[in-house]
A and B are shown apart, each in its own frame.
Chain A
Amino acid sequence: MSLGSGVLQRRFPFGLRWLGAGLWRLEHAFERARASGRAEDDARIRIFFVMALFSLGFVALAIGATQAALFADAARGGAAGWISPQARADIVDRHGRLLAADLPHYGLYIDPSEVWDVAATRVALRAALPSVDHERLERALTGDRRTFLTGGMTPVERAAIHRLGLPGITFEPEQKRVYPLNNTAAHLIGFADTGGQGLAGAELALNDEIRNLAGAGGEVALSIDLRVQGALEDELRKAALTYGPRGAVGIVANVHTGELLGVASYPDFDPNNPGSASPEARLNRAASAVFEMGSTFKAFTVAVGLDAGVATMASTFDAREPYKLGYRTIHDYHASRKILTLVEVFQHSSNIGTAKLAVGVGPERLSRYFTDLGLTTAAAIELKESASPLTPKVWNEDAVASTSFGHGMNVSPLALTRAMLPLLNGGKLVPLTIHKREPGFRPPAKQVLSETTSAQMLQIMRANVTGGSGGKADAPGLSVGGKTGTGEKYDPEIRRYNGKRQVSSFAAVFPSDGPLENDRYFVLILLDEPHGTPETFGYSTGGWVAAPATGALIARIAPFLGVSRHVGPMENQPRLASIQTPAAGGDL
């Protein structure tokens, strides 16, 4: 016994030793019962022991079975929460309004072996599903196996077929990406394929995020405000119908956060059926097209001139004669033939004055500033469609003069927007985004201009609306500032710039008054090859065709953005009256 105990202690763990000892004692009890002449007790104890073990086992099985029956839902819950591999999260605007969603649809299947009357089924399905190809229907009806006939049926369509009571017709649920707003914000939202992969716009740019959030039941909030987007598209459409351009672009952005509050490209398309739209309609002109912007670039040149210390607000420029630079002569579109202050150069959109300022800045500094402003690279934004600019191969004086007033350099409207923001937000180059940001969020940004330059640019842009070429963009009480732009397009047929094919735009900011850190918004309206009307006296320049649309748009969206009007005796007073008087300054 002691030897046995010693071996047990050495070789086996405590539990086994305890069990062994128990059995040992039980066996001794049997032996004792036999020794005391109660052999029948020995058998009974053994029977009792075996029955007890069986009962124990049965109780264990019962508990297990009950538990499996009652709590099997946990496993079933996992199956119910199964997410389709094609699933995509909802896309909503910044206020939670639905822009894109996966909705239940149905696929229709035909099992020929269960079809009683092929002829009657054929007639009924042709009437109910006129879009289905007849040959396809015939193959499904006469085939030898269950065949998929058509998909993407709405519950209403499914119910209509179901009511026909046709044997052999079955439905299987499937998810379909739906864009309930049709053409609204189509280029920004983009579209996805039936496999759940984003192909354009936010659907492509935020593809991973949208797919990951589908499992969690989340939604992706875009930066756009549907009310702003609606007004933007409406004003752009009205301008497009009036002036008949080849295309048009509208952008509204928050200058501090870089959020795009509205992006419109005309013509547009229905993302529910992108295949039926022409490539022209699907083209996102805000991101994918590049234009020679014309005079809106003068805002950059003037800002660079101020920031580099080459000019002050009081500097004057001699625009009495065309400016000869190398082999070329630069003329003014609105020839004033006088000495202009810097503000007047901006207000009259003087090519001569701007070119002289740019030459004063010099090729190296101007190209460096343009690079810092992001004009030499594709606009930094999530959209994959963001196009790279066409920039001068060599930054010489000729290139400097051309680019100073927006020629010889093609950028996308989004790139122009991004570069404009530092002029209006205190000099910070904030990245554009289609993601909603929290109120008060300020993205990390590189300081590319001084705050003083930015404040001066706001004043100059306001002066251009109160007393310059941007007068038609004014919206009472909203202190609109801005710059017109009219760039002639290069015509390959005549191998030179064609004065009849223009890109007319207006780049605006509102409100232009108040401290730099105040909420402020940038608006761009651009028309590609507009046509003048009798009302515009045949002109199709930015000031005539884009500025009025910009003013009307700003008047509509200001309440949505919380910008209140300040209508009073001081409204529309020229803020720069004191500095518009020519004073001491370099005559460049």
Chain B
Amino acid sequence: MSVFTRRVRGFRLIDVVALGLLVLLIMSVYLAKTMASRERAQIARVEREISSETARIRLLEAEVAHLEQPSRIERLSTAYLEMAPVTVDQETTPDTLAIVALPKVSRP
């Protein structure tokens, strides 16, 4: 009895196998499409989030640049911290730090 003539509960085995394969293929395509669309939606959501975060980062960078304007920093540091540009007598080098650390001696 060949595979083409063998019957299972009145149905040819070859037909049953073919139908099973067909259903498997349909299911696999359906699953692939469904999973893919879910993944795609997730990817799109993440991309939207990235885009939104990138825009926020750029806005914050611009805000930081705006707040760190040299003229603004200068105005605030002068007004609230009484700071001023460094003068020559406020500068030193690592080599002369030891001299700066010495106690001041009154000269005649």
Query: Which residues on A are within 8 Å of B, measured CB to CB?
Result: 41, 44, 48, 51, 55, 58-59, 62, 65-66, 69-70, 72-73, 80, 97-99, 101, 103-104, 155, 178, 180-184, 226-227, 229-231, 233-234, 475-477, 552, 555-556, 559, 564-565, 567
Contacts and interface: CB of A to CB of B under 8 A. Distances in A.
Contacts of A72: 40
Interface residues of B, number: 38
A476 B55 contact: no
Contacts of B82: none
Contacts of A99: 65
B62 A62 contact: no
A184 B29 contact: no
B58 A101 contact: yes
B88 to A, nearest CB: 4
A43 B32 CA distance: 36
B70 A104 contact: no
A75 to B, nearest CB: 12
A65 B62 CA distance: 45
A232 to B, nearest CB: 9
B70 A182 contact: no
Given A233-B70, A233-B71, A559-B86, A65 B32 contact: yes
Contact of B36 (A70, A184, A233, A567): A70
B69 A66 contact: no
Interface of B: 4, 14, 18, 21-22, 25, 28-29, 32-33, 36-37, 39-40, 43, 47, 51, 55, 58-59, 61-66, 68-71, 73-74, 85-88, 91, 93
Given A73-B43, A98-B65, A565-B91, 10 more contacts: A48-B14, A51-B18, A55-B21, A97-B65, A182-B69, A183-B71, A231-B70, A477-B88, A555-B88, A564-B93
Nearest to B32: A66
* Interface of A, helix, strand, loop or mixed by DSSP: helix
11 contacts: A44-B4, A70-B39, A99-B65, A103-B59, A104-B58, A180-B62, A180-B63, A181-B66, A230-B73, A231-B85, A477-B88
Contacts of B4: 41, 44, 48
Contacts of A182: 66, 69
A59 B25 contact: yes
Contacts of A229: 70
B32 to A, nearest CB: 4
A226 B72 CA distance: 13
Contacts of B59: 103-104, 155
Contacts of A101: 58, 61-62
In this complex, the member of B21, B22, B63, B91 whose beta carbon has the largest number of chain A beta carbons within 10 angstroms is B91
* Interface of B, helix, strand, loop or mixed by DSSP: helix
Given A51-B18, A556-B85, A70 B32 contact: yes
Contacts of B33: 65-66, 69
B62 A178 contact: yes
Nearest to A232: B70
A496 to B, nearest CB: 40
B93 A230 contact: no
A450 to B, nearest CB: 35
A89 B33 CA distance: 39
Given A59-B25, A70-B32, A559-B86, A234 B70 contact: yes
Contacts of B61: 98, 101
A69 B88 contact: no
A94 to B, nearest CB: 14
B74 to A, nearest CB: 6
Given A44-B4, A51-B18, A103-B58, A62 B28 contact: yes
A227 B70 contact: yes
A62 B63 CA distance: 52
A364 to B, nearest CB: 47
A559 B86 CA distance: 10
Contacts of A565: 88, 91
A104 B74 CA distance: 29
B37 A184 contact: no
Contacts of A477: 88
A59 B47 CA distance: 32
B93 to A, nearest CB: 7
The 10 residue pairs across chains A and B that have the minimum distance between CB atoms: A230-B70, A69-B36, A180-B65, A180-B66, A98-B65, A476-B88, A66-B32, A180-B62, A104-B55, A62-B29
A183 B51 CA distance: 30
A58 B21 CA distance: 11
Contacts of A97: 65, 68
A363 to B, nearest CB: 46
Contacts of A73: 40, 43
A226 B70 contact: yes
A101 B65 CA distance: 11
Contacts of A59: 25
Contacts of A103: 55, 58-59, 62
Nearest to A183: B71
A48 B39 CA distance: 38
B30 to A, nearest CB: 10
A98 B65 CA distance: 6
Contacts of A98: 61-62, 64-65
A31 B24 CA distance: 35
B91 to A, nearest CB: 6
Contacts of B22: 55, 58
A131 B80 CA distance: 34
A475 B91 CA distance: 13
A80 B47 contact: yes
A449 B29 CA distance: 80
Contacts of A552: 85
Contacts of A58: 22, 25
